[in-house]
Structure 1
Amino acid sequence: MKQIAELIGLEADRAAEATLVRGGELERSGAVQLVRFSPSLVTAEVDDGAAYVEFRVVDGVLRWYCTCAEGRSGALCAHCVATAQSVRRRTGGKASPGGSSTAASASTARIAL
């Protein structure tokens, strides 16, 4: 089974270009504060309108949620991308893509609460 960091990285790399750019800006500015990092759960607070991000692996499937309007719709928003980039940095790049994006999409899902 893929590690949560790898799944998050693979999914973030599939985001739209504008989302990748904005997420990168947020991460580089220090806006991301990882709150919890475990084998099946990553939570973060992003200081851009006080967004809360959660990535969770349930039955081998990656699920995510963000409190921003875009994230609540189930989209992978800039806050999620910023969190993913912060996880990648924390894990020393181990979250970088090594498989195909098809494999990533087959193992991921969105949740909207």
Structure 2
Amino acid sequence: MIISVSGENGHEGDAVTPLEAAFEERACAQRAGTDVFLEGVNLALLGRVDQLRIRPTNASGTVDDDGPHEVRLEATDEEPRTGCTCAEGSAGAFCRHAVALALVATGSAGLAEDDGDEDGEGIVVEGSLFADDPVHAAMRVFLSRVPRAELVETLLDAADEHEAVADALWEATVAWHGRQHGAAPSA
């Protein structure tokens, strides 16, 4: 079964499978919540999804995260279903392992193998969280999860080594202090 999605003008839409429609990345982010979604993004970008099997209505694979976890996704008429051998997934939650598998299986993370049906642009979905730059996506995950003290030291070390980083941090510091004290932003 294929679902047709119309383009911007109502024509020339892309064909998507029920799996792709059910596990579209923004829906996954809403269903999982921000923290769990970012953890799944991290696993996907680190290449932790293996033994991937994809069909139009379901996908399965293993996700390596402190040991392998068996994950299954299924697009049904009612709502998407997931299963995972981790504690959260076994309790029925949409876990980080299901997020990682969904992103890779649907091509949202730009990591699924090209099946030859693409137009030479690659398989990263336009408008995807990963479309602009997967390196920035990985760094965003890192920066959002690293402990604050470690982040501060990393940025100060980078500023010591690179003048452009020091300049950018100084400009951000001045702007932040201005906002804290009610100063109008400089043009």
TM-score by length of 2: 0.46
CA-atom RMSD in angstroms = 2.4
Match of 1:107 in 2: none
Match of 1:25 among 15, 34, 42: 42
Tell me which stretches of 4 or more aligned residues in structure 1 moved more than 4 Å: none
Q: Does 1:74 align with 2:92?
A: yes
One-letter identity of the residue aligned with 1:93:
V
1:56 CA displacement: 1.3
Deviation, 1:93, is 2.0
1:12 corresponds to which of 7, 17, 28: 28
| Aligned mates of 1:78, 1:30 — CA distance in 2 | 14
* Alignment-derived partner of residue 53 in structure 1: 71
- Rounded to whole Å, the distance in 1 between the matches of 2:37 and 2:27 is 11
Q: Deviations over 1:38-89 (max 9, x none)?
A: 1111001101121111011234642111110000111110001111221223
Deviates more, 1:34-43 or 1:82-91: 82-91
Q: Distance in 2 between matches of 1:33 and 1:11?
A: 23
Whose helix fraction is larger, Structure 1's or Structure 2's?
2
Match of 1:84, SS state, is helix
Task: Name the structure 1 match of 2:124.
Answer: 92
Kindly indicate whether the alpha-carbon contact (under 8 Å) linking 2:73 and 2:102 is maintained by their aligned counterparts in 1. no
Which ranges in structure 2 are unaligned for 5 or more consecutive residues? Answer: 4-16, 113-122, 129-187
Q: Answer whether contact 1:55 1:62 (CA < 8 A) is retained.
A: yes
Say whether the 8 Å CA contact 1:71–1:77 is kept in structure 2: yes
Shift in Å at residue 21 of structure 1? 1.4
Q: State the percentage of identical aligned residues.
A: 29
Give how far 1:34 is off.
4.8
Asked which structure has the greater RCO (Cα within 8 Å, sep 6+), the reply is 1
Conservation of the 8 A alpha-carbon contact between 2:72 and 2:84: yes
- Residues 18 and 75 in structure 2, CA contact (< 8 A), matched pair in contact too: no
Q: Which SS does the other structure have where 2:101 is aligned?
A: helix
1:53–1:64 contact (8 Å) kept in structure 2? yes
- How many matched pairs? 97
- By percentage of residues, which structure has more strand? 1
CA contact (8 A) 1:34 1:83 kept: no
